[in-house]
Chains A and B, each alone.
Chain A
Amino acid sequence: MIFKHDVLIIGGGLAGSRAAIEMAGSGADVAVLTKVYATRSHSCAAQGGISAALGNREEDNWLWHAFDTVKGSDYLGDQDAIEVMCHDAIRTIYELEHMGVPFSRTEEGRIDQRPFGGHTRNFGERAVRRACYAADRTGHVMLHTLVEGCIGRGVRFYHEFQVLDLVFNDGVCCGVVAYEIKTGRLHTFHARAVLLATGGYGKAFRVTSNGMANTGDGFAWPYRHGIPLEDMEFVQFHPTGIHGFGILLSEAARGEGGILRNKDGERFMERYAPTVKDLAPRDMVSRAIRTEIKEGRGFPGEYVVLDLTHLGKDHIESKLPDITSFCRIYMGIDPVEKPVPIHPTAHYAMGGVPTDIDGRVVKDAANTPVPGLWAAGEVACVSVHGANRLGTNSLLDTVVFGRRGGKSIKQTLPGLEWTPLPEDPEATVRDHIARVKAGTGELAAPIRKELGETMMNDCSVYRDEAGLTACVAKVRELRERYRSVRVSDKGDVFNTDLLEAIELGSLIDVAEGIATAALHRTESRGAHSRMDHPDRDDTNWLKHSLVWRDEDRGCRVGDKPVTITRFQPKPRSY
């Protein structure tokens, strides 16, 4: 069947629902397609907070926030975009409050704020309270408020519709092909504008804080249509995933005073970041943990511990109720009484589909827009996070740039024609499904498992040429094996066996892009740490990478300049 809407938003997480709210009531016919019920988008898992220099607890300034973000990004973030985000943060938080987000409050009834890694006062002096929060389920309450805001505004949702490809005609994006999960029917959605808000790709790694829906689909589609991905080598590993599970224990735990200790009980972060210690940015803390383990100061089983015991039961239970219950449920450990085993977990995609500050997808170093296509949220690379994202800046990114994307579409729409659909837009997807259903090779699960292992071993916190070369080769081998992937379920109704196999295709393409870009960048910057090139090299590498997919010859890597406005690159120490 063919559906027609002026605007399609792919993804009902924070970025998608914020964009939809922006367009609701403008007269445009907007629909949101989402493969899980919108409230189940992985934004619901965000715990710790969303930053803005409100100054509710102590003096703060949006320029300090901008500086921290630039420094956190290891100077790879585009400073024009960072200024937009940090300046708009303040208005954004008030707006979210006005929309009903139940933030935690101070005694005076204002929005409460807590410290978070890498956020400082006065350009690095000491930690500052900048993260607005709702206990430790900030993302959950924001997501409910925004999805409910969409419901109140009459936005049309297609829940459990899985998009499988974008539709282009002569370089113009004019819709998507979607699979109705309940019935197995394919549909074409024809539109004048499409906004990608499909979230991250954490499932490419064996250990991750991401949900099973985070399979990088929205990275893979434009990539397969010749649009490059930007800064893919930068993958954030969050230092505190629950040992063995990868479930996140928010940085808020350290914001509230939690301390990392090695097997000797030593507060080892004092050695790595003397000023901010446990509140150093994530890339540094993850490396410190790996180094402690490598040098024999980890516990057997390769972990260190997060110690909250000195904070007291009341404080822990009131400020960190969810993560307290995660420790109790999954580890059988009460953080009030015992330190919790943790290790780094794959968490966030700094890179993604390149966009300008209005969410328009751009396809080259000259920022040439792709007509009809926008992107926002984790799938997009604006780039505000550069080589390393600061905690609380992603929730901010989703709502600031979700709104800007929506606004930009709203403004562009009156002049946008209906681009006709190409002939048989569903053909590629239909063939792919038929091929997978007829496959006689391996099942998807073992291939996915090997992919996760490879990425974890050779493309995670520490990297080097030999490992990355092997990783690229392995991913390409997995793609070969994937060509004849087999599924057991050949049916039409709720066939998650088939969908998991298709999602694996996205993960493989994305993983190849990540590993290739990582091999290409012969320096260490932010989350990309090359043991064979341990220093940052501004002379040769103060630039974004762009990676194009080329199935036959491997990916092609190019670059794009970084925008620098106020803050000249300096060595990064904390």
Chain B
Amino acid sequence: MEVSFEILRFDPSRDSSPRYQTYRVEAEPNSRILDVLNTIKWEQDGTLTYRRSCAHGVCGSDAVVINGKNGLACQQLLKNYGGRTRFRIEPLPAFRVIKDLVVDMEPFFRHYERIKPYFVNEKPPPETERLQDPVDREAIDDATKCILCGACTGSCPSFWSNQQYLGPAALLKAFRFVFDTRDTATDERLKVVNDQDGLWRCHTIFNCNACCPKEIDITDAISRLKVLAVQTRL
């Protein structure tokens, strides 16, 4: 089938503002959006720029906006769009565009680092593993699926209006440690997220859930952090 891809392009050394460029490509219904981008880059226009690596939704490199919705280019097949042949691809909103579909993820990773995204347990460990009940392990299972793609934070109206907001991905990471029964830095992390630029900027609008490629219930994690923060009365 022939599809047309309208791609928002921006090269800081040439363009004063972003512009759409349309490409026509022969593709299979089974092609990923990423396959089509590759075909354009390799056969028509080598200057087209985007991030990618794993090509099957596990590394988090290629979150973009596809027909108005944030998602991974490598996880969406053409046939998922009900026979549609015109596609519009844009960079993630809310982040500064470096070039074409590549945005500056520094603010995203800065927020992530703010919540102390590392395991803490100062107690001397046992000779073997620390025991963890499978039910307790299950509680963080969803949160450990996050691939840090930024689709959620890039879809969050609260983040659009205030870039100091930690955003859903960082809060989800905080959840992953706070609700890990083995981790002991709960109070420190709650202090960071229980802040005007943290939990309380989330107005439970669910945009994040709607676009998470790993189908994580991020909003639920944020709500449970809110409850815990209130209960803990830091």
Contacts and interface: CB of A to CB of B under 8 A. Distances in A.
Contacts of A163: none
B26 to A, nearest CB: 15
A484 to B, nearest CB: 16
A97 B54 contact: no
Interface string A85-105: 000000001100111101111
Contacts of A492: 13
A211 B54 contact: yes
A89 B145 CA distance: 25
B137 A104 contact: yes
B231 interface: no
A110 B145 contact: no
A40 B60 contact: yes
A169 to B, nearest CB: 33
Contacts of B56: 45, 245, 247, 326, 330
A497 B46 contact: yes
Contact of B58 (A36, A137, A332): A137
Contact of A244 (B13, B30, B54, B127): B30
A135 interface: yes
A98 B102 CA distance: 36
Given A39-B148, A44-B147, A491-B11, A109 B131 contact: yes
B53 interface: yes
B13 A491 contact: yes
Nearest to A182: B98
Which of B50, B58, B75, B182 has the largest number of chain A CB atoms within 10 A? Answer: B58
Given A39-B148, A40-B59, A329 B54 contact: no
A489 B46 contact: yes
B81 interface: no
B205 interface: no
B180 A494 contact: no
B218 to A, nearest CB: 16
Interface string B35-77: 0000001110111011111111111110000000000000101
| Interface of chain B: mostly helix, strand, loop or mixed | loop
B53 A213 contact: yes
A102 B144 contact: yes
Contacts of A152: 116, 118-120
A488 interface: yes
A140 interface: yes
A493 B99 contact: yes
A495 B102 CA distance: 11
Contacts of A140: 58, 144-145, 147
B132 interface: yes
A42 B53 contact: yes
A44 B55 CA distance: 12
B61 A36 contact: yes
A564 to B, nearest CB: 32
Which of B49, B56, B98, B113 has the largest number of chain A CB atoms within 10 A? Answer: B56
Contacts of A141: 144
A99 B119 contact: yes
B53 A212 contact: yes
A212 B75 CA distance: 15
Interface in B78-124: 79, 98-100, 102, 105, 109, 113, 116-121
Given A39-B60, A45-B58, A496 B129 contact: no
Contact of A40 (B11, B61, B100): B61
B232 interface: no
Contacts of B77: 329-330
A94 B129 contact: yes
A496 B49 contact: yes
B46 A105 contact: no
B17 interface: no
Interface residues of B, number: 59
Contacts of A134: 144
Contacts of B100: 494
B18 interface: no
A443 B40 CA distance: 13
Contacts of B128: 54, 94, 110
A148 interface: yes
Given A40-B61, A45-B54, A98 B125 contact: yes
A326 B133 CA distance: 29
B53 A497 contact: no
Given A108-B131, A109-B133, A151 B102 contact: no
B130 interface: yes
Contacts of A111: 129
A44 to B, nearest CB: 5
B96 to A, nearest CB: 11
Contacts of A491: 11, 13, 47
A148 B43 contact: no
Contacts of A541: none
Given A102-B140, A110-B131, A493 B98 contact: yes
A140 to B, nearest CB: 6
A481 to B, nearest CB: 16
19 contacts: A37-B61, A37-B105, A42-B54, A44-B60, A93-B129, A98-B125, A102-B140, A140-B144, A140-B145, A148-B119, A151-B118, A211-B53, A212-B54, A213-B53, A330-B32, A330-B77, A488-B45, A493-B11, A494-B98
Interface of A: 36-37, 39-42, 44-45, 54, 93-94, 97-100, 102-111, 134-135, 137, 140-141, 144-145, 148-149, 151-152, 182, 211-213, 244-245, 247, 322, 326, 329-330, 332, 443, 445, 487-489, 491-497
Leading 6 A-B pairs by shortest Cβ distance: A100-B119, A488-B46, A152-B118, A445-B42, A109-B131, A497-B46
